[in-house]
Copies of this chain bind each other. A is one copy, B any other.
């Protein structure tokens, strides 16, 4: 059996929109192993981000509530944020949990990396489960744009809402599923 070529050749790549550091959009012309050429394959490069699930000793899970322009609605999401230039992934996770929820944690378990759109990129999500959490800042200030509030949901409620599809942000529901399976 002939070995299939491992990937598609990128023949050309053109920057269509540069909103660095938040987004870069490209057209790519690609050649498949069978010779087929596809032009203008849109690629959307968004920054890698981390997302964190944690439970406090009292059984509550921190969520942030925000208006989200992409979703055109308000969401409840796990603490999350971009990995900054040169920043370690774990450092980013610890920073976001502190900035958004005012929490520090003793143990950090990596739950994997996930591409948001396998066709177009749209960014990699790195999920964490933090254990041994405690509040270190009473009223954290995330510095994010727009209206932003912190909410504490009991673990049972998180599971019920997750199963009911109430957490409409994909990275949040993905990370909740992975974390609940570890608890």
Contact = CB atoms under 8 A, between A and B. Distances in A.
Contacts of A152: none
Contact of A112 (B70, B113, B168): B168
Given A42-B17, A182-B163, A68 B146 contact: no
Contacts of A33: 146-147
B69 A8 contact: yes
Contacts of A71: 115, 118, 121
Contacts of A173: 112, 114, 174, 177-178
Interface in A95-115: 110-115
Interface in A125-153: 125, 145-147
Contacts of A170: 114-117, 125, 170-171, 174
Contact of A23 (B113, B120, B171): B120
Interface in A38-52: 38, 40-44, 46
A51 to B, nearest CB: 11
A111 B110 CA distance: 25
A165 interface: yes
Contacts of A112: 164-166, 168, 173
